[in-house]
Structure 1
Amino acid sequence: MPHALVVDDEADAAEMMAALISTEGFSVATAGSLRDARRQLALQEPDIVLLDLMLPDGSGMQLFEDAKALANTEIVLITGHASLETSIEALRLGAADYLVKPLNMKQLHGILSRVTKPSKLRAEADTLQSGLEAEGHFGLLWGRSAGMRRVYEQILRVSGTAVTVFITGESGSGKEVVARTVHDLSRRRSRPFLAVNCGAISPHLIESEIFGHEKGSFTGADRQHLGFFERSHGGTLFLDEITEMPLELQVKLLRVLETGSFMRVGSTQAIETDVRVIAATNRPPEQAVASGKLREDLLYRLNVFPIHMPPLKDRPEDIELLAEHFLQEICKREGEHKKWTPVAMEQLIRHRWPGNVRDLRNAVQRAFLMAEGHQITDEWLQFDGSPSSPADSATLSIRIGTPLAEVERAVILATLRRFDNHKEKTAAALGVSLKTLYNRLKDYTQDGSEEAES
């Protein structure tokens, strides 16, 4: 049976909390001072300590000095008010979370359900470090450069806590993968991880998508809808491109972060939430604030623990590792074996990769599809003046003023002919997904195009 220690000088509050914790399957001891707490720690090592900051013989934070006694114990601070300073101090000292008086029962239940021995987290960290040295990856993240090692250190530092993380970096650099790694290493790993691109949702729908809505709250709301906060309860909500969120909605998000509650659109009833928020942006945050894209108070609330993802051009030593990794993934999926020629790899390393890791992955996919044999040459690596491909020798004349839809249709069908109806090569040459190509061809078939049908 897991054991909990409640350290609070208010005897009634401590007993009430102990009774609640015992219903969750814990044995519970209480202490009203630092001295009593140290005595209880000596008697039995707890799995979790719920620690009040204000005690008669000192601050609860002094208990963190007993590093040996708490080496394998999860600590949750109890405070009279939630603040940015509390979050930062809790992180600095090594607390996993904090509770605000009066206690939020849903949050307490969530914390107790996620109790994890620090030794288990350290063992997982050691496994990831071994993978980094042996294979060059840290979970889902790949790279051995100094910039990436710094990112890994930050992930290890923050993942075991409940504080908000703010990830910055260029588009395609891997911000969502960082967020996912933080979640996978956290105590919330068994709960949902939901990713939301704030720039990809209509401004008219984003509030409903994030907070949900009640039936009849607006035209078309024919049923109740649960938003991302409710669907990610107990887990992690990743808000990508946060600067694209409308300012009026940023105010509501700030309130959720401060109070732990929200209301669905069309409702007057507050709903308590237990969600860790990770946000990201490809804009420099200070510039986003200056340009009116991001509220300054929201930035302060989100930016408790910042992580910056370096662009691929700043870590060229990782390009070969990434290119090999992406190629092996494709080979395994397609059941084929292909490898890079030295010239092709040299060209990959020299390229600046404005689209970062996503850009590199797409280039590897395209080169794999277009390469005829088992070797991938630089023939299909077309960037910055590199040699043109055989497909470029064919031309297509377009009359000036032709509607764009007709231009797109003509280019797609001509490229399809050029590759003898090989759809994978056609999609790769056009730089679109196979699904997009199939959708276009389906549209052309419905429009009566004989060539598309053939």
Structure 2
Amino acid sequence: MNGSILIADDEDSIRESLTIVLEDEGYNCTAVKDGNGAIEAIDKASYDIIITDLKMPNASGIDVLEYALKHSSDTLTIIITAHGTIETAIQALRKGAADYILKPLEFDEVLIRIQNLLEHKNLAQENKYLREQIDKEYNFNHIIGESSAMKEVYKMVERVSQAKSNVLVTGQSGTGKELVARAIHSNSDRSKKPFLAINCGAIPENLVESELFGHKKGSFTGANADKDGVFVAAHGGTVFLDEVAEIPLNLQVNLLRVIQEREVKPVGSNQMVSFDTRIIAATNKDLEKEVEEGNFRDDLYYRLNVVEISLPPLEQRREDIPLLAHHFLQKYNKELKRNLKGINSDAMGAMMSYQWKGQVRELENVIERAVLLSDGDFLTVEDLPAAVKKSSDSEDFQMDSDKLDEAIQVFEKHHIQSVLKRTDGNKSEAARLLGIDPSTLYRKMERLGVTD
């Protein structure tokens, strides 16, 4: 069936004719002769569309509409009305009706109206599903990592999500700055509004102003129509300015004014346009150093950096590598239609020893490649790139188990030993470097068998 339709009309000829025409088109129809019958039908079953006459005995079409909106909010209602009651039909639209049709009915027009409404309804449901998937993917509870460094990031994301303050996310390329920005947006009261990301380093310099602030038709060669900049386009939501340090110095003063005043003047326009958009910026550069060297305005830096979230490089959260690796394994098993059961201990040891200059992004790419090329049930050292394979010769990590929790314990033991060596056995200093309490360090040493 194309869809389910409830028809409510006290005129037998209209009710019966609509039923015949719609069922011939493949719709599943239920017909009732008054408003009370329609309300009873709504209680018993769900419908895609209700077609109801405006004036009926017992309960009117407006009564049916209001009941449907309250008890079956996904159902769309079409009002049938005569010319003399168009004003009432318009009131019905204001109350929430999807459409109205004038008598006498033109069945071809009715079919077109129904088809258009169902297409819009299906699109809305798809968008709702995609929004739910995006919210699930970018919810900060699903960011991978259990290290103390990442737990600090989670706390910061939770604290700033409900605020309106500008946020600056810093960290090396590949550490997941956009993921954190999306998590902030997803957990805020702006989550149902747009999230627009713009890579400031990827826009030609002569188009940066247009992309950020918008332009009017004819304002420059190629401006064939009016265009909103990202701040206006994301009104009510969030703008993510990635690689913000790449914005040309001569435009930084304009960006500062826009952030301060919350209004923009599109290129070629004399009118200011207000917006309500949260701003999250990100950079892999040391902005304080950029300010000192004259490459970035200090007033813009302080305006953007109300709250800073610094993402740790992978070398500072190596205990997260097994978690990340298994997460990406599952992800690419699904995407590439493979069925690898896990990662063997030698391969995990190599990944734990390798220096991930490309950060989490490089690790993900390595796992994707390995899943694609692997011929066995488990990912092995032979499935890894040559550079990562070399790390398997390191004696730093000798994995005797393929189990995830045991692999993490091997790293944890090695890392504590390494830090204690650096501090000449000073446990208080080692605890400070590890970001844990000395009592926690003592418990971990005892549990893992770490000696002085």
TM-score by length of 1: 0.54
Q: CA deviation at 1:341?
A: 1.2
**What corresponds to 2:252 in structure 1?**
250
Task: Return the alpha-carbon distance in structure 2 between the equivalents of residues 245 and 149 of structure 1.
Answer: 31
Code of the residue aligned with 1:369 in structure 2: it is: L
Q: Secondary structure at the match of 2:201?
A: coil
1:347 aligns with 2:350: yes
Q: CA deviation at 1:335?
A: 2.9
Q: CA deviation at 1:271?
A: 0.3
The aligned runs of 1:38-187 (5 Å cut-off) are 138-187=140-189
Q: CA deviation at 1:320?
A: 0.5
Q: Note the alpha carbon deviations across 1:115-174, whole angstroms, 9 max, x for none.
A: xxxxxxxxxxxxx9xx9xxxxx94341100011000111111111110000111000000
Q: Quick one: structure 1 residues 385 and 139, their matched pair in 2 at CA, closer, same or farther if it must change by over 3 Å?
A: closer
Q: Secondary structure at the match of 2:227?
A: coil
Q: CA deviation at 1:290?
A: 1.7
**What corresponds to 1:46 in structure 2?**
none
Of residues 315, 323, 326, the one that matches 2:325 is 323
Determine if contact 2:170/2:282 at 8 Å carries over to the other structure: yes
Runs of 4+ in 1 over 6 A off after TM superposition: none
Q: Quick one: structure 1 residues 331 and 303, their matched pair in 2 at CA, closer, same or farther if it must change by over 3 Å?
A: same
1:376 aligns with 2:379: yes
Of residues 276, 279, 283, the one that matches 1:281 is 283
Q: Note the alpha carbon deviations across 1:237-294, whole angstroms, 9 max, x for none.
A: 0001100011122111111111111110000100001000000100112111122222
**What corresponds to 1:358 in structure 2?**
361
TM-score by length of 2: 0.54
Task: Return the alpha-carbon distance in structure 1 between the equivalents of residues 381 and 175 of structure 2.
Answer: 24
Code of the residue aligned with 2:349 in structure 1: it is: E
Determine if contact 1:237/1:277 at 8 Å carries over to the other structure: yes
**What corresponds to 2:224 in structure 1?**
222
**What corresponds to 1:64 in structure 2?**
none
Task: Return the alpha-carbon distance in structure 1 between the equivalents of residues 344 and 272 of structure 2.
Answer: 60
Q: Secondary structure at the match of 1:220?
A: coil
Q: CA deviation at 1:386?
A: 2.8
Task: Return the alpha-carbon distance in structure 2 between the equivalents of residues 218 and 173 of structure 1.
Answer: 38
Q: Note the alpha carbon deviations across 1:405-429, whole angstroms, 9 max, x for none.
A: xxxxxxxxxxxxxxxxxxxxxxxxx
Determine if contact 1:140/1:177 at 8 Å carries over to the other structure: no
Task: Return the alpha-carbon distance in structure 1 between the equivalents of residues 378 and 173 of structure 2.
Answer: 30
**What corresponds to 2:443 in structure 1?**
none
**What corresponds to 1:65 in structure 2?**
none
> Which blocks of at least 5 consecutive residues in structure 1 are unaligned?
1-127, 132-136, 389-454
> Which blocks of at least 5 consecutive residues in structure 2 are unaligned?
1-135, 392-452
Q: Secondary structure at the match of 1:277?
A: strand
Determine if contact 1:228/1:237 at 8 Å carries over to the other structure: yes
Determine if contact 2:230/2:239 at 8 Å carries over to the other structure: yes
Q: CA deviation at 1:385?
A: 6.9
Q: Quick one: structure 1 residues 302 and 383, their matched pair in 2 at CA, closer, same or farther if it must change by over 3 Å?
A: farther
Task: Return the alpha-carbon distance in structure 2 between the equivalents of residues 262 and 189 of structure 1.
Answer: 23
Q: CA deviation at 1:384?
A: 3.9
Q: Secondary structure at the match of 2:182?
A: helix
Q: CA deviation at 1:380?
A: 2.9
1:302 aligns with 2:304: yes
Task: Return the alpha-carbon distance in structure 1 between the equivalents of residues 390 and 361 of structure 2.
Answer: 22
% identical aligned pairs: 47
Q: Secondary structure at the match of 2:198?
A: strand
Task: Return the alpha-carbon distance in structure 2 between the equivalents of residues 284 and 342 of structure 1.
Answer: 37
Q: Secondary structure at the match of 2:202?
A: coil
Of residues 241, 261, 264, the one that matches 1:262 is 264
RMSD, matched Cα: 2.0
Q: Give 1 or 2: higher helix fraction.
A: 2
The aligned runs of 1:409-424 (5 Å cut-off) are none
**What corresponds to 1:199 in structure 2?**
201
Q: Secondary structure at the match of 1:139?
A: helix
Code of the residue aligned with 1:267 in structure 2: it is: S
Of residues 185, 188, 210, the one that matches 1:208 is 210
Task: Return the alpha-carbon distance in structure 2 between the equivalents of residues 315 and 138 of structure 1.
Answer: 17
Q: CA deviation at 1:326?
A: 0.6
Code of the residue aligned with 1:364 in structure 2: it is: I
The aligned runs of 1:378-417 (5 Å cut-off) are 378-384=381-387, 386=389
Task: Return the alpha-carbon distance in structure 1 between the equivalents of residues 255 and 329 of structure 2.
Answer: 40
Task: Return the alpha-carbon distance in structure 2 between the equivalents of residues 373 and 227 of structure 1.
Answer: 50
Q: Quick one: structure 1 residues 299 and 187, their matched pair in 2 at CA, closer, same or farther if it must change by over 3 Å?
A: same
Task: Return the alpha-carbon distance in structure 2 between the equivalents of residues 367 and 326 of structure 1.
Answer: 11
Code of the residue aligned with 2:305 in structure 1: it is: N
Q: Secondary structure at the match of 2:266?
A: coil
Q: Secondary structure at the match of 1:310?
A: coil
Code of the residue aligned with 2:197 in structure 1: it is: A
Task: Return the alpha-carbon distance in structure 2 between the equivalents of residues 319 and 345 of structure 1.
Answer: 9
Task: Return the alpha-carbon distance in structure 2 between the equivalents of residues 385 and 276 of structure 1.
Answer: 41
Q: Secondary structure at the match of 1:239?
A: strand
Q: Note the alpha carbon deviations across 1:312-369, whole angstroms, 9 max, x for none.
A: 1110000000000011011122332112111001111111100101010000001111
Q: CA deviation at 1:210?
A: 1.1
Q: Quick one: structure 1 residues 153 and 240, their matched pair in 2 at CA, closer, same or farther if it must change by over 3 Å?
A: same
Task: Return the alpha-carbon distance in structure 2 between the equivalents of residues 305 and 385 of structure 1.
Answer: 36
Q: Quick one: structure 1 residues 387 and 308, their matched pair in 2 at CA, closer, same or farther if it must change by over 3 Å?
A: closer
Code of the residue aligned with 1:247 in structure 2: it is: L
Q: CA deviation at 1:370?
A: 1.1
**What corresponds to 1:238 in structure 2?**
240
Q: CA deviation at 1:377?
A: 0.8
Code of the residue aligned with 1:191 in structure 2: it is: K
Determine if contact 1:140/1:181 at 8 Å carries over to the other structure: no
